[in-house]
Structure 1
Amino acid sequence: MADEATKDTDTLLKEMSHWTGIAGEMQQLMMEHGASVLLKMGDDTAAGLATTPLPSTDQMLAAQKAWWQETAATWRKMMPLSPESAAAATGDRRFAGVEWREPIFDMIRQTYTAIADQLLAGIARVEGLDPKQKEQLLFLTRNFVEAMSPSNFALTNPQVFDKIIETGGRNLVVGLERILADVGRGQISHTAADAFEIGRNIATTPGKVVKETALYQLIHYAPTTPNVKATPLLIFPPWINRFYILDLRPEKSFVRWALDQGLSVFMVSWKSADASMAGTLMDDYILAGEHDAIDTVRDLLNVPSVHVIGYCVAGTAMAMLLAWLAARGEGEKVASATFFTAQVDFSQAGDLSLFVDDAQIGLINSFATDGFLDGRYLAATFNLLRGRDLIWNYVVNNYLLANDYAPFDLLHWNSDVTNLPAEWHRRYLSDLYRDNLLVKAGGLSVAEVPIDLSQVRTPSYVQAGREDHIAPPESVWKLTHHFAGPLRFVLAGSGHIAGVVNPPAANKYGYWTNDAKVPTLAEFVAGATEHKGSWWPDWISWIDTLSGDDVAADGARIPGQGKLPAIEDAPGRYVRTR
């Protein structure tokens, strides 16, 4: 009887070992494929390296010595597990589980860390490369290193081993199903597809679509106060994403909060690009989009000016619009301009600026079909900027561990991609990221009118995210060097999204202000005052001084009751178009 039990146990272990090996091999193939794509992106850099002088003998000896010293230190810390090793493991979320403190897995972790550190340090020590080439190599190497983490493989992740035993291997089956589903849709799922629905539990703020063009729908939200400020607020979200990042669940909605502060709020909902928009350029977004919406709201409410908010790329376009209005003597159409994580000077634009030479832009353009670029490409690009958090974290949790998806509205929005006009995208990369023409007086024109940012005198509020990986705070800060009007800069905690969508009730992150005129972000931070919680109240206090008297929230202030009849209920159909 005991022999039969032993035999059954051996059989079960062999089966588990077999299927774990299969899963590991599949994961290995996926990682290798991802690494090969990244390395292919670096072909031009590799070609440059071929003509780069080899490091000197002294450099090679120093690197080798550092490697052996780190390797020896790793082995010294192995048996038994030292407090230093435990602290290092818990400092990296990938290895925070107590399972990684088992000697064999701690050895795997430390060996990986030593190799990773030496790879990155080796790139940093290479001489003969210009700074951009070195940054390109570091970016590619960093992504490769993150992809090869032992946490990403079933055979080297102790938590996956435990999950296989706990579920009898069911997690591998569920994970494979999810992999195949994600391959079919062309992107990694960050949250359950049915957890959120536009108009049901996100983008629910009441309002009406009051205008529709080939480029955008204009949403007018219903007031929530009996009186509102005379000057309305018009929001331009980025057309790279959906507008409802500013209207997620009610408790996180910037739109709903702004309404409750007594503002008349309008939102532009951009159309996701299709073949009909193949010829759409930046001038179209500026004039047929933002400027047209400004004039529409001014006419609807019979007001001389509006407050405007531009988020990310829409903020870049808004800066160009303000310069164009200034050149035409029409700057008074805008009472104030608020910039959410927007760049105008791209000289320090972060990792996105590393791959914008002619060959790379041509490669990106080759992905376009019928004149537009599939939004999944850009989503993958943004994910690569934080691959550890936005790719490999979900490979482990969704595929290997097969954990339940977290119902996270922000991640649902992040996966809800929009398509882009290919020619607009090409010029955006070449004119701004590569050539940085916007900060050169007359370097760019709008409708054949040369523009100069130094002529903009519109009161401006500039918000940057301290941990922003898409629009780095150092880059956003540069906007303060180019406008001539009064300007308030606020540095918010967190990044490109959470740093903006931070309602006061959450009491998270904090923000920094500094009224002194200083030339650099470092000096701003050094002399800044830290404030707890959300920066939204700071913004509303600033904008209230520019908003005029209160007026009754009736007549044209009610969506559909003015000269523009309601077309459909908010959030409209454009936000649902894929």
Structure 2
Amino acid sequence: MLARMTGGISPAALSMAYLDWACHLAAAPQRQIEIAHNAWHAMRLVAERSLHFSDPRRGAWDLIKPQAADHRFSKPQWATQPFNLFAQAFLLGEEWWHNATTGIRGVDPANEAVVDFSIRQLLDMFAPSNFAATNPEVLERTFQSGGENLAFGWQNWLADLMQVLRPGTPSSGDAKFVVGETVATAPGRIVFRNRLIELIQYAPTTEKVRPEPLLIVPAWIMKYYILDLSPHNSLVRYLTDQGFTVFMISWRNPGAEDRDLAFDDYRSLGVMTALDTIGKIVPDRPIHAAGYCLGGTLLSITAAAMARDGDERLKTITLFAAQTDFTEAGELTLFINESQVAFLEDMMWERGYLDTTQMAGAFQLLRSNDLIWSRVSRDYLLGERAHASDLMAWNADATRLPYRMHSEYLRKLFLNNDLAEGRYRVDGKPIVLSDIHTPMFVVGTLRDHVAPWKSTYKVHYEVDADVTFVLASGGHNAGIVAPPGEQGHSHQVRTKGADAPYLGPDEWQQVSPRVEGSWWPAWIGWLERQSGTPVDPPQLGIGNADDLGNAPGDYVHT
């Protein structure tokens, strides 16, 4: 009941953070004086500015400018008065609260980050861009349309309310993106199925293929077809067109009956079973393996366990926006401490899984201005709807996480960081990433709020292998789905040999040349250098196996 009111955020964890901050602030009189002085200074600036609306010597943003990533006040209408003053007063208030909640001597850094983040979320609710009377774009549109935008906004709000009341109802904008018809359409066959996965083998599109097959391990906090969206941006189609035999894991969306699925089940029933099946279809050939997000973390665990046990089936390893060390996992870690994990476990116990709304809500909070408040202004005040896209439709196709797996993931990886520190156990024995000697291609994305690129970069000193690291423009999803020919993409790439000296992330970013365009061709070139001479394509599936149907299969619809 408590979780429903708080959106899954532990009140105890939040209270402890605020108590830590308040107690140390109360014991810091000098800091109190500084905060009070800053407040007086900000109020004086706003008062003086309000008396000189029309002073030509003053610029539009002479008091404070929005940060580069803050687009709420980017339209030219915000340069006019009094709206410019509203925006600057709000930004000064945000700056004051940031200064008041940070830099307090003695406050635990994690608690400081929680207080700063939560205050920022509350302040964002009251931004002048969120209200019709203080938003010049909305007022201009209202006068021009005779209030039509507000009528459309009301309709949009009612439609969204119906979606909340009737979960699973697709929005009208997503109706043209249908799995198996307009998205996830790369031709292929389901070659294996168990209680957790369907394994898809995609049909070849070239006369010859590289002898080494490629297995892709997507995350199970998302549907696999982000890597097979529309034909123009499908990574699967791009790979098959370049002469690779591609296999993809499609995870089953768990229900209450799967509450006891363990994290290691995803390794054994998922990745290892997929490797065994590929070995029957394409025997005696090493395998390229790629993992995305949590799927990349799982692939790293699998590779370390295989290396420990002398299993040499992996030819190369590729990680897309995947973390192996969780000490600097960005603002997502604000939701992960002992109190929060215990709260989530109690919340999941009733249903047996983490519901889609909790997962989606956490990710939305990380980019609340872009994913929540900009939508309020656009959809409800301006009466517009963003143009539907395949990526948006995929993002709305949420998944669940089983109780036991999610608890183990949060405790072993996030809280205890067992994988990076050599305490993670597979089959009762610890594994270490330094056992991995397989060449690696690792992709981080510049504006990733889920797996910050400097966190993914840590793989350089965790493994004992040649690492080619790519820093791609974009975020966690748009930075990975970056087809050649699409505008706005760029990347940096550099290879570090296993015995080469370590280069820190900031230094790496300074010395690595920036390349315009998609990083996909760079990955293909790297894979080709690691592959053998092209051969005839293998058969689709195992000869005497049951007919399990065509891609995209059944599990993607669960």
Equivalent of residue 54 in structure 2, options 80, 83, 94: 80
Q: Aligned with 1:95: secondary structure?
A: coil
Q: Aligned with 2:351: secondary structure?
A: coil
1:335: which partner in 2?
A: 315
Q: Following the alignment from structure 2 to structure 1, what is the Cα–Cα distance between the partners of residues 186 and 7?
A: 43
- Do the aligned partners of 1:466 and 1:473 also contact (CA within 8 Å) in 2? yes
Summarize the alignment of residues 165-564 of structure 1 with structure 2, pairs less than 5 Å apart: 165=143, 166=145, 167-168=147-148, 169-185=150-166, 192-330=173-311, 332-368=312-348, 369-441=350-422, 443-515=423-495, 517-553=501-537, 557-560=538-541, 562-564=543-545
Give the letter for the 1:67 counterpart. A
1:27: which partner in 2?
A: none
After superposition, the Cα gap between the structure-2 partners of 1:427 and 1:251, relative to the gap in structure 1 and judged at 3 Å, is same
2:17: which partner in 1?
A: 45
1:6: which partner in 2?
A: none
Cα root mean square deviation, aligned: 2.5
Q: Following the alignment from structure 1 to structure 2, what is the Cα–Cα distance between the partners of residues 228 and 242?
A: 27
Q: Following the alignment from structure 1 to structure 2, what is the Cα–Cα distance between the partners of residues 106 and 96?
A: 11
Deviation at 1:358, TM superposition (A): 2.0
Deviation at 1:563, TM superposition (A): 4.2
Alignment partner of 1:129 is 2:107 = yes
1:106: which partner in 2?
A: 84
Deviation at 1:561, TM superposition (A): 7.2
Give the letter for the 1:235 counterpart. I
Give the letter for the 2:504 counterpart. T
CA distances 1:286-327 after superposition (whole Å, capped 9, x unpaired): 111001101101111223321110111111111111111112
Q: Aligned with 1:94: secondary structure?
A: coil
After superposition, the Cα gap between the structure-2 partners of 1:363 and 1:37, relative to the gap in structure 1 and judged at 3 Å, is closer
Give the letter for the 2:388 counterpart. P
- Do the aligned partners of 2:130 and 2:376 also contact (CA within 8 Å) in 1? yes
Instruction: Decide which moves more: 182-191 or 503-512.
Output: 182-191
After superposition, the Cα gap between the structure-2 partners of 1:329 and 1:90, relative to the gap in structure 1 and judged at 3 Å, is closer
- Do the aligned partners of 2:204 and 2:240 also contact (CA within 8 Å) in 1? yes
Q: Following the alignment from structure 1 to structure 2, what is the Cα–Cα distance between the partners of residues 118 and 558?
A: 65
Give the letter for the 1:251 counterpart. H
After superposition, the Cα gap between the structure-2 partners of 1:90 and 1:240, relative to the gap in structure 1 and judged at 3 Å, is closer
Extract unaligned runs of 5+ from structure 1.
Answer: 1-32
Q: Aligned with 1:523: secondary structure?
A: helix
1:142: which partner in 2?
A: 120
Deviation at 1:552, TM superposition (A): 1.1
1:13: which partner in 2?
A: none
- Do the aligned partners of 2:7 and 2:361 also contact (CA within 8 Å) in 1? no
Deviation at 1:215, TM superposition (A): 0.2
Percent identical residues: 31
Instruction: Decide which moves more: 89-98 or 146-155.
Output: 89-98
Give the letter for the 1:85 counterpart. W
1:20: which partner in 2?
A: none
Instruction: Decide which moves more: 314-323 or 164-173.
Output: 164-173
Q: Following the alignment from structure 1 to structure 2, what is the Cα–Cα distance between the partners of residues 176 and 527?
A: 49
Deviation at 1:447, TM superposition (A): 1.9
CA distances 1:228-258 after superposition (whole Å, capped 9, x unpaired): 0000111000000000110111111100000
Alignment partner of 1:153 is 2:137 = no
Q: Following the alignment from structure 2 to structure 1, what is the Cα–Cα distance between the partners of residues 411 and 192?
A: 33
Q: Following the alignment from structure 1 to structure 2, what is the Cα–Cα distance between the partners of residues 238 and 245?
A: 10
After superposition, the Cα gap between the structure-2 partners of 1:158 and 1:171, relative to the gap in structure 1 and judged at 3 Å, is farther
Deviation at 1:90, TM superposition (A): 10
After superposition, the Cα gap between the structure-2 partners of 1:370 and 1:124, relative to the gap in structure 1 and judged at 3 Å, is closer
Give the letter for the 1:254 counterpart. L
Give the letter for the 2:28 counterpart. S
Deviation at 1:381, TM superposition (A): 0.6
Extract unaligned runs of 5+ from structure 2.
Answer: none
After superposition, the Cα gap between the structure-2 partners of 1:244 and 1:470, relative to the gap in structure 1 and judged at 3 Å, is same
Deviation at 1:542, TM superposition (A): 0.8
TM-score (norm 1): 0.88
Q: Aligned pairs, how many?
A: 540
Deviation at 1:89, TM superposition (A): 6.5
Give the letter for the 2:40 counterpart. W
Instruction: Decide which moves more: 242-251 or 391-400.
Output: 391-400
CA distances 1:330-377 after superposition (whole Å, capped 9, x unpaired): 1x1111110001111111111111232222112122332431111221
- Do the aligned partners of 2:60 and 2:79 also contact (CA within 8 Å) in 1? no
